[in-house]
A = this chain, B = another copy of it.
Amino acid sequence: MQLTSETLERAVEHLSKLPGVGRKSAQRLAMHLVKQDKDQVLQLAQALIDLKQKIRYCSSCFTITDDDPCPICRSAKRQRNVLCVVEESRDVYVIEKTNEFRGSYHVLGGVISPLDDVGPDDIRIKELIARVNSNSEPVSEVILALNPDAEGEATSFYIHKMLSPFGVKVTRIAHGIPMGTELEFIDEATLSKAFIGRNIF
């Protein structure tokens, strides 16, 4: 045994399973917690337990929520006829920060990725089609906001194809030069997208 406490060793093992936490940081975190107030550690532990016990997915948009439907789907201020399709709930939070989008979301819970054995049926594409096809809340536009990598592109194309029979407008968020960046540091693919997507000034 390398550490003098099996309890510490066990905490280090569990902490080092977290993404981006190596054994060394896990040991630092565990030893920090040993020195903290008992209350603080119990509150942290309870907050983590709650993540599994209290959190569910919104039955409408599938974002993470405590109450179903989620605050965004419940809100009277949000448009129901514009759906923004994202990969994960974290993307919802990123977009919400911009205060730019006033429609609703649809969280796929992943992207199509044959290498990871994720097919169209493993993410919430059926549910998206059902929403678009529903008569109760007509959808006029579906905005695709997936990441601009191979999986995100493939998933966008697939969704576009699946939605075409319904005559709904399908758009994609713009790809181009990030604000505050100088042109000389931009890769060719982005610069090329920026030219293709140019707007009238």
**How many copies altogether?**
2
Contacts A18-B29, A31-B88 given: A8-B64 contact, CB under 8 Å?
A: yes
Q: Categorize the interface residue count of chain A.
A: 35 or more
Q: Is the Cβ of A66 less than 8 Å from the Cβ of B14?
A: no
B-contact bits for A29-43, CB 8 A (1 contact / 0 none): 111111010101111
Q: Is the Cβ of A54 less than 8 Å from the Cβ of B2?
A: no
Complex CA distance for A47 and B18, rounded to whole angstroms: 14
Contact of A34 among B19, B28, B55, B71 (CB under 8 A): B55
Contact of A46 among B18, B45, B63, B70 (CB under 8 A): B45
Neighbouring B residues of A43 by C-beta, 8 Å: 14
Q: Is the Cβ of A64 less than 8 Å from the Cβ of B27?
A: no
Contacts A25-B20, A47-B10, A52-B41 given: A65-B34 contact, CB under 8 Å?
A: no
Question: Which stretch (A90-98, A125-133, A179-187) binds chain B?
Answer: A90-98
Q: Is the Cβ of A11 less than 8 Å from the Cβ of B48?
A: yes
Q: Is the Cβ of A6 less than 8 Å from the Cβ of B45?
A: no
* Interchain Cβ contacts under 8 Å between A and B, 20 examples: A3-B93, A4-B65, A4-B71, A5-B54, A5-B70, A8-B55, A11-B48, A11-B50, A17-B44, A19-B28, A19-B32, A20-B28, A27-B93, A33-B48, A34-B52, A38-B53, A41-B48, A41-B49, A44-B48, A45-B46
